[in-house]
Structure 1
Amino acid sequence: MIARIWHGKTKAEHFEEYTDFMKSEAIPDYKKTKGFIKLTFLRRIEGDIAHFNLITFWENLDVIQNFAGDDYEIAKYYHRDKDYLLEFEEKVTHYDVFAE
């Protein structure tokens, strides 16, 4: 199993609105992908910035490529991300999961 980790930042005032967007659009997109296993979505506010960390779990790298494209280390963004995110981190990080 492979874990794929993404980080994003919004203004704190968009904390709930961005959460709702991710629940309604991004998370269903992950879940409909064959080979997707599960996800954990983390969020916190630090001053006037909201941080979001998304950890998705996949069967293997081939499945991730099917979801994210040939260059699977490039972060995948959604059309409304531009309305919220303060920056667009180019890459995500992948880890082999060896224990749960």
Structure 2
Amino acid sequence: MICRIWHGRTSRQNADEYARFLEQRAIPDYRSVPGNLDVEVLRRDEGDATHFLTVTHWTSEDAIRAFAGDDLLKAKYYPEDEHFLLEFEPQVQHYTVVAKASPAA
């Protein structure tokens, strides 16, 4: 399993709207791709800026390729991101998941 992590930063005044955008546009996009196991969007307010991480889990590099294209580490952006983001980081991070606990029954 591969964990893909993207980081973005927006102004604090746009953070609530961007959070809604991620929930309504980005999450369904991730989830529409076969091989996507889950998506989490994390938020951290810091002064006048707000940081967002999208943390996704994938079955394989082929599944990620179906989502992001052939350059697996290249960040994927939406046209709407122009309105929100303060900068565009060129790459994401990938980690191999070596241990994971399931929720308790």
In 1, Cα distance between equivalents of 2:2 and 2:37: 10
Matches within 5 A, 1:46-65: 46-65=46-65
Counterpart residue type for residue 85 of structure 1: L
**In the alignment, what sits opposite 1:24?**
24
TM-score, normalising length: structure 2 = 0.93
**In the alignment, what sits opposite 1:3?**
3
Helix, strand or coil for the counterpart of 1:19? helix
Task: Quote how far apart the aligned CAs of 1:38 are.
Answer: 0.4
In 2, Cα distance between equivalents of 1:58 and 1:5: 11
Helix, strand or coil for the counterpart of 2:26? helix
The runs of 4+ residues in structure 1 deviating greater than 3 Å are none
Helix, strand or coil for the counterpart of 2:29? helix
Alignment length (residue pairs)? 100
Helix, strand or coil for the counterpart of 1:43? strand
**In the alignment, what sits opposite 2:75?**
75
Task: Quote how far apart the aligned CAs of 1:44 are.
Answer: 1.1
Helix, strand or coil for the counterpart of 1:41? strand
Flag structure 1 segments of 5+ consecutive residues without an equivalent: none
In 2, Cα distance between equivalents of 1:21 and 1:82: 12
Counterpart residue type for residue 18 of structure 2: Y
Flag structure 2 segments of 5+ consecutive residues without an equivalent: 101-105
Larger radius of gyration: 2
Task: Quote how far apart the aligned CAs of 1:78 are.
Answer: 0.6
**In the alignment, what sits opposite 2:93?**
93
Percent identity of equivalent pairs? 49
